[in-house]
Each structure stands twice: as structure tokens, then as C-alpha cells.
């Protein structure tokens, strides 16, 4: 894969960088700046090389419209604090203010274009429209660096089309992500355990199908576990259930048995009458969930079993929480998985999205994990064995 080194001497050159600054906001306050911090090594590397850095990023889903609540202004402020250098925020994407902002850049300075998704061409399915935006962006720079891992699975103007128009390279974050995730999926040290959670089994069908040929153990928690329990003939009360996926899951259980892959499901769950932080809850056996209750976390026995399985593994990949970790009463399962991974003697990869947010929210030291991905969807597609267009376009 092409790296920043392959771009040659960058002093005085303008470098366009695609970062992923899709951070959670409370009003205009950033509640988790993990993705901004993850972008710093690449930006500092380019600034140290004397480049004029022009950053593109998105925030939320403005759907091609200019929406003030999705402005990158809070990101520009936080990036400036973390970099310790001024960050000039353009008022548009490729308009007059963006042009003026980019032209005013000096060596070692940073400009941030306004939310790239304010322009409908960014996410257009029409290749000609995407190319039109990519050509406008290409006029801003001499080279392009892809460092937004959270979007490399998307064929978008600032991710895919732009890389075909300028000398291009992968940033330090994207290189680290690909190296770590491929280490966990292509040639893992065994035993290889994968922990899957989150709400819907349908979101992870492709991942499960791929892992049934690669993993030694699949630990299933979160809302998706109830479809597995139903597939085993258990009633799941008011728990989240995808009834239409039960036959598929039954087939997966048979395939796992035939392939010698161990499927580990909850043996008990923390159940409540309602989805609420203050809901009255109780621990019940997974094969005896009352009709009026819903499972909102894996139970204490399950937490012990999952922790023991993780402790026995040499490679662990995790994608998706075990329960509603945002509510203290239903955070135990997610905490147990994170603790076992952080303390284990294994190569541990946390697959972005809610799992990465949980690690930070629950107060774990990020350095105790081998790698915490910044891209939920992208890491899932790598686990699924898919080719990522934003990566393929950068390969030699």
C-alpha cells in the first residue's frame, strides 16, 4: 500500500487529508474526541514535513444539505487545542471561502473544509457527480492522504474518487487499522475468539458466515443473542428478536457444529420490564425468560463464561456491546468483556463504533488493548472478508 513516504518531499506542498471527525456531540460539546485524537499522528507528520494541510471530514448525516447543527466548528476548535496550532475553518466545502482559506495557507498550517457531506455529490450514487466534486477538491492540493478509516468502506468522492486524481497514500491511522485488523483476521494466533454483540443479528450475517470458516469461538451477546436463543427453541419474552432470521441462525448453528467452531451463548440474562435506566430488573436463566420481560444484558454466569473463554484465547476481536451499557444496571456484560480483553494475554482488537465508545465510557485504559478501531462499519466489513474500495484504490 502507498504510504506518505511514497509522496516524496512535501515541503510547501498542499496535502488534502480525509479524516473521520464524526464525533458525538451534546449541543456543541464533543463528548468523545477519540476520532480527533486518532488523526493527530498523520496531521503532525505532514506539518513536520512542511506541508500545507487541508482536511476534509464529515459529521452526522446532513444528507447533502447545509445544516448548522452538523457544522465542523466544534471539531475545528478541539483539533486546534490538540494540535497546539491554528486551524482555519472554511465556511463551505469547495466554494469561495474554501478557496480563499486554502490559498491563504502557509507551510505548517491547517485548514478544515466545512462538513463534506453538506455537498450532495459526496455520497452520490452517480459516479459523474462524485467525480465532479473530486475534481473541485483536487484543485486544492498536490497530493492526497486517506486517513479516515471509518469511511474507507464507502465509494465516496472524498474517499475513493479523489484518490484516482492525485498522488495518493494511506495515512498512519489507516495503515495501523489495516495492519491490526488483518492480523486479527487473516492469520490469527490461535485460539481465535470473536465476540459479537449489538442489537441486530441481520447487521452481522455476513460476518458470522465468514467467521464460521475462520474463528475457533464465537461469543454472542447483545440484542442479537435473543435470535440465537430463539433458534435453539427458547422463548425470549419481550427481548429484541428478528423472527425472520431464525432459520438463518439455525443453519449457522449447524455449520458451526460441522466446522468445529464453538458458539458461546448467554446462559443467563439481566431482564427488565422496560427499556429504561431506572427499570426494575432481575437475573433470569436464558432458557426461561418470562413473557413480560426483555433481556437487556448478559447475566453474571454468562459474564464469567465469556471472560474465561476470552482468557483462553490468543487473538480476540470484539464488535458490539453485550447489553445497554449506557445504563449502569445493564453495563456488566460489556464491562466483563472489556476487562477480560484488557487483562488477557492476547492480541486484542476492539472493532470501533459502540464497542470503542464503551471502552472509553466505562473508564478502561485504551493502552491495555492492542488496537481500538475508529471505524465500526469498516472493521465489520474487514471481519466479513470484503474488499474496501477506499483501501483498494490506495494499493500499489
Is 187-383 in the same CATH topology as 4-175?
A: yes
Residue 192: per-residue pLDDT: 97
Whether residue 369 has pLDDT greater than 70: yes
Catalytic residue status for 251: no
Catalytic residue status for 11: no
Please tell me whether 295 is known to bind a ligand. Answer: yes
Whether residue 118 has pLDDT greater than 90: yes
Please tell me whether 352 is known to bind a ligand. Answer: yes
Please tell me whether 332 is known to bind a ligand. Answer: no
Catalytic hit among 13, 14, 18, 35: 35
Positive or negative, the Cα torsion across 287, 292, 297, 299?
A: negative
Are 355 and 320 contacting, i.e. CB atoms less than 8 angstroms apart?
yes
Q: Where are the domains of the chain?
A: 4-175, 187-383
What CATH class is the domain 4-175? alpha beta
Catalytic residue status for 353: yes
CATH of 187-383, one of 3.40.50.880, 3.30.70.2740, 3.40.50.1260, 3.40.50.1100: 3.40.50.1260
Pick from 185, 219, 208: nearest CA to 322: 219
Please state, in angstroms and rounded to a whole number, the distance separating the CA atoms of residues 16 and 218.
Answer: 40
Instruction: Read off the pLDDT of residues 200-247 as tens digits, 9 standing for 90 and up.
Output: 899 889 899 999 999 999 999 999 999 999 999 999 999 999 999 999
Give CB contacts under 8 A, 24+ apart, made by 123-128.
Answer: 123/64, 123/154, 123/156, 123/157, 124/157, 127/161
pTM exceeding the 0.85 threshold for the entire prediction: yes
Instruction: Read off the pLDDT of residues 374-396 as tens digits, 9 standing for 90 and up.
Output: 988 888 888 888 899 999 999 96
For residues 104-127, give the mean pLDDT: 97
Instruction: Read off the pLDDT of residues 82-98 as tens digits, 9 standing for 90 and up.
Output: 999 999 999 999 999 99
Amino acid at each position: 500500500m502507498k504510504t506518505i513516504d511514497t509522496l516524496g518531499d512535501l515541503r510547501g506542498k498542499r496535502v488534502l487529508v480525509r479524516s473521520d471527525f464524526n464525533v458525538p456531540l451534546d449541543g456543541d460539546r464533543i463528548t468523545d474526541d477519540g476520532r480527533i485524537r486518532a488523526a493527530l499522528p498523520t496531521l503532525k507528520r505532514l506539518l513536520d514535513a512542511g506541508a500545507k494541510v487541508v482536511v476534509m471530514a464529515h459529521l452526522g448525516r446532513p444528507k447533502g444539505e447545509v445544516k448548522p447543527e452538523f457544522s465542523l466548528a466544534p471539531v475545528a476548535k478541539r483539533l486546534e487545542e490538540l494540535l497546539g496550532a491554528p486551524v482555519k475553518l472554511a465556511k463551505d466545502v469547495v466554494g469561495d471561502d474554501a478557496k480563499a482559506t486554502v490559498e491563504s495557507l502557509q507551510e505548517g498550517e491547517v485548514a478544515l473544509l466545512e462538513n463534506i457531506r453538506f455537498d450532495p455529490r459526496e455520497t452520490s450514487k452517480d459516479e459523474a457527480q462524485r467525480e465532479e466534486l473530486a475534481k473541485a477538491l483536487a484543485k486544492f492540493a498536490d497530493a492526497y492522504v486517506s486517513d479516515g478509516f471509518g469511511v474507507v468502506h464507502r465509494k465516496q468522492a472524498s474517499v475513493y474518487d479523489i484518490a484516482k486524481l492525485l498522488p495518493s497514500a494511506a495515512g498512519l491511522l489507516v495503515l495501523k487499522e489495516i495492519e491490526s485488523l488483518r492480523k486479527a483476521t487473516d492469520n490469527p494466533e490461535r485460539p481465535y475468539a470473536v465476540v459479537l454483540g449489538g442489537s441486530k443479528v441481520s447487521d452481522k450475517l455476513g460476518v458470522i458466515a465468514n467467521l464460521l470458516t475462520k474463528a475457533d469461538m464465537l461469543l454472542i451477546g447483545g440484542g442479537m443473542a435473543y435470535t440465537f436463543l430463539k433458534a435453539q427453541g427458547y422463548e425470549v419474552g419481550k427481548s429484541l428478536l428478528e423472527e425472520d432470521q431464525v432459520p438463518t441462525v439455525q443453519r449457522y448453528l449447524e455449520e458451526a457444529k460441522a466446522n468445529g467452531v464453538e458458539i458461546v451463548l448467554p446462559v443467563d440474562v439481566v431482564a427488565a420490564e422496560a427499556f429504561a435506566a431506572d427499570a426494575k430488573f432481575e437475573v433470569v436463566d436464558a432458557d426461561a425468560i418470562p413473557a413480560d420481560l426483555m433481556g437487556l444484558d448478559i447475566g453474571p454466569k454468562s459474564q464469567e463464561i465469556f471472560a474465561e473463554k476470552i482468557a483462553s484465547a490468543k487473538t480476540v476481536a470484539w464488535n458490539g456491546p453485550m447489553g445497554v451499557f449506557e445504563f449502569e444496571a445493564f453495563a456488566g456484560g460489556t464491562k466483563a468483556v472489556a476487562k477480560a480483553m484488557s487483562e488477557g494475554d492476547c492480541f486484542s482488537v476492539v472493532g470501533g463504533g459502540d464497542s470503542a465508545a464503551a471502552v472509553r465510557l466505562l473508564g478502561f485504559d485504551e493502552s491495555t488493548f492492542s488496537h481500538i478501531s475508529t471505524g465500526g462499519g469498516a472493521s465489520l466489513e474487514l471481519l466479513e472478508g470484503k474488499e474496501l474500495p477506499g483501501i483498494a484504490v490506495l494499493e500499489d
